[in-house]
Amino acid sequence: MSDITLGIIGSGQLGSLLCQAAKKLNIKTVVFSDDEHGPAQNYSDQFIFGKYDDKDKIKELINKVDVVTYEFENIPIEILKNIDKEIKVLPKPKINQIVQNRKLEKTFVNDIGIKTTDWAFIKSAEDIKKNKKLLPGILKTNTLGYDGHGQFVLDSLDDVKKDWCFTADYILEKKIKLRKEISVIISRFSNHEIYTYEPIENIHKDQILKHSKIPAEITDEIFKEAQDKAKLIAEKLDYIGTMCVEYFIDQNNTLLVNEIAPRVHNSGHLTINAFNISQFENHVRAVCGLNNIIVQKFFNAEMTNILGKEIVEYRSKSYGDFEFFFDYKKKKIKDKRKMGHLTILKK
């Protein structure tokens, strides 16, 4: 019986799945969220509802837990840093600061010798003109993007609207003709041991992940390169916990890092059913200072995200022994919102 209590900031499905993994390890959970209806409260031992900058609520969290982690990266960095002064926050706030900012993230990745798409930092329409070699490209808000929010495709300079007011910082990335997208989930422990899951192949629709599968249909070389690069990134960041590296494979079979998620990741949901130890359990183990144990893959698998009103149909279906339906129990159905997922195991 463990006597560790884990604090989790954020109360979406990733939080729910972290709570379920913690329960398996007899680790208690306290979820802190600014969403009154956050579904993770259905799975946590305690729930604190409040604004992320509410000092009293933060104090309450700190008093209740031994270590704090987070299920999304867009948390104001000062808040994580303040909590970290009193109690350990893992992954370290410094890592989150890099990864939640596309400019810092890409600079870090390029500086350790890893390729990304060609990109430039953009503060004005003038900056776009100066970087027109990156067109057709994608303009992305420098911070706070997720599921394709804050992204604009620019085919040519004509698409730069004259009245566009640059209130935020952006980056402009060259648009890649994608052969494939893959991701690597990796867990690094406090003793610095690492477990790297095999690459997962991902299909996005409208910039939102729709399907993930293992094995990814890639060459042995790309398989190894993707795992090696993820390891290098985890080591250079001195990362503790589970993280994900999203990659593009272009038409020349060049592997490019798209982005890093300093947390458990949607593409890794299939690890719950296909492996003895999921990405969630490995994250909880790592941030709570438990050792890694041998990870075994039992099945190949395919995962489908259930978006918006699709959930209604999935709720009324019946499922076979190799099919695992997860309903995130979100209060409101919204268009394109991730409402659940289905994992199908394959021999």
Q: Which residues bind ligand ADP (CB under 6 A)?
A: 117, 138, 145-148, 173, 175-176, 178, 181, 204, 207, 246, 258-259
- Give the torsion through C-alpha atoms of 330, 334, 335, 337, to 10 deg: -30
Least separation in angstroms between CB 174 and ligand ADP: 6
23/175 with CB nearer ligand ADP: 175
DSSP string computed for 283-326: HHHHHTTPPP----B--EEEEEEEETTHHHHHHH----TTEEEE
Closest CA to 22 of 212, 284, 274: 284
Cα-Cα end-to-end distance for the chain: 35
81/204 with CB nearer ligand ADP: 204
150/289 with CB nearer ligand ADP: 150
Least separation in angstroms between CB 299 and ligand ADP: 25
Phi, then psi, of 149 in degrees rounded to 5: -70, 140
The enclosing H or E element of 14 equals helix 13-24
Residue with tokens 């997860």: 326
148/215 with CB nearer ligand ADP: 148
Least separation in angstroms between CB 7 and ligand ADP: 25
7/268 with CB nearer ligand ADP: 268
Q: Tell me how far apart the alpha carbons of residues 81 and 61 are, in angstroms, rounded to a whole number.
A: 14
Q: Tell me how far apart the alpha carbons of residues 47 and 295 are, in angstroms, rounded to a whole number.
A: 31
Least separation in angstroms between CB 88 and ligand ADP: 27
Task: Count Cα atoms within 13 angstroms, Cβ side, for 138.
Answer: 16
Which residue type is seen at 6?
Answer: L
Least separation in angstroms between CB 175 and ligand ADP: 4
What are 297's strand-pairing partners? 275
246/281 with CB nearer ligand ADP: 246
Least separation in angstroms between CB 99 and ligand ADP: 11
Closest CA to 237 of 207, 213, 260: 260
User: Distances from the Cα of 319 to the Cαs of 64, 271, 337, in angstroms?
Assistant: 39, 19, 23
Least separation in angstroms between CB 140 and ligand ADP: 6
Q: Tell me how far apart the alpha carbons of residues 279 and 20 are, in angstroms, rounded to a whole number.
A: 12
6/303 with CB nearer ligand ADP: 303
Least separation in angstroms between CB 289 and ligand ADP: 30
Least separation in angstroms between CB 35 and ligand ADP: 19
Q: Tell me how far apart the alpha carbons of residues 235 and 188 are, in angstroms, rounded to a whole number.
A: 8
178/333 with CB nearer ligand ADP: 178
Q: Tell me how far apart the alpha carbons of residues 112 and 95 are, in angstroms, rounded to a whole number.
A: 15
191/253 with CB nearer ligand ADP: 253
